[in-house]
Amino acid sequence: GDRSDTLLQTDGLIKQFGGFTATDEPGFAVEEGELRCLIGPNGAGKSTLLKLITGTHEPTAGSIYYDGDDITDLPPHERVKRGISMKFQVPSVYGDLTVRENAQLPIQRLVTGDDRNRRIEETIAAAGLEGYEDVPASDLSHGQQQQLEIGMAASLQPDLLLLDEPVAGLSVEERRGIADRVTALNEERGIAFVVIEHDTDFVAEIADAVTVLHRGDVFREGSISEIEADPEVRRIYLGE
């Protein structure tokens, strides 16, 4: 899309840990409704960038704009209200609770009455877990648990959903389940995504666009085929 379709934009964003610069003015942008994958070597600053966007981390300097507003000083829950939702690297479903009980957690204090049941059903559908409503989450496969988490993150009706390594450690079949969930939410609900992922087959299957992060800065942007063909990208993965 054109510049007026920009959903998220960072400007001069810096995050330092002690003397170390993890985020170094990447000029990162996400368009409305786009499915962008964020790749780059270990330690490139991918997770840090997402945590700056959610407000988990405070930047050392710089700004984050969302939907035209400067959100840099907003606390995380205010960003959630504005439409930014994240599924973290660490799983957060409750194994003792059923799929339905887990599905109602994100909305339980926000939505009441008849709307609540409709939203719970929507969450289960978004997770692709129809028929598993009464199954304890601990009895789901690892892939199904990830699907449940994605459905739960989507239940807050975000415009932007951030996923940190959603298919790490999953089988090929389980990855397909996650890819189906992500593309369905993107296409049917128009949710924009930033997905951190290493697996190039998975990235090729889902991504509209790819950003390569290196040393906290944007190194390359393009389609997955452009990125895969780029010798400089290979070089940074090999550690120079």
Which residues of the shown chain bind ligand ADP in the complex (CB under 6 A)?
A: 17, 22, 40, 42-48
- For 201, residues 6+ apart whose C-beta sits below 8 A from its C-beta are none
Give the residue with the Cβ less far from Mg ion, 128 or 166: 166
Q: Which residue is nearest to Mg ion (CB)?
A: 47
- Beta strand pairing status for 192-196 and 209-214? unpaired
48 is in the binding site of which of Mg ion, ligand ADP, none (Cβ under 5 to 8 A by kind)? ligand ADP
Strand order of the sheet with strand 209-214?
A: 84-87, 160-164, 192-196, 35-39, 209-214, 217-222
> What minimum distance in Å lies between the beta carbon of 164 and Mg ion?
6
Give the residue with the Cβ less far from Mg ion, 90 or 114: 90
> What minimum distance in Å lies between the beta carbon of 24 and ligand ADP?
10
Q: Which two tokens stand for residue 58?
A: 């405070």
Tokens 């985020």 appear where? Answer: 23
> What minimum distance in Å lies between the beta carbon of 216 and ligand ADP?
7
Q: How many residues bind Mg ion (CB under 5 A)?
A: 2
45 is in the binding site of which of ligand ADP, Mg ion, none (Cβ under 5 to 8 A by kind)? ligand ADP
Ranges within 6-65 binding Mg ion (CB under 5 A): 46-47
> What minimum distance in Å lies between the beta carbon of 146 and ligand ADP?
18
Give the residue with the Cβ less far from ligand ADP, 76 or 136: 76
Q: Which of 175, 159, 166 is nearest to 83 (CA)?
A: 159
80 is in the binding site of which of Mg ion, ligand ADP, none (Cβ under 5 to 8 A by kind)? none
44 is in the binding site of which of ligand ADP, Mg ion, none (Cβ under 5 to 8 A by kind)? ligand ADP
22 is in the binding site of which of ligand ADP, Mg ion, none (Cβ under 5 to 8 A by kind)? ligand ADP
> What minimum distance in Å lies between the beta carbon of 88 and Mg ion?
10
119 is in the binding site of which of Mg ion, ligand ADP, none (Cβ under 5 to 8 A by kind)? none
CB 176 within 8 A of CB 146: no
Interacting residues with Mg ion (CB under 5 A): 46-47
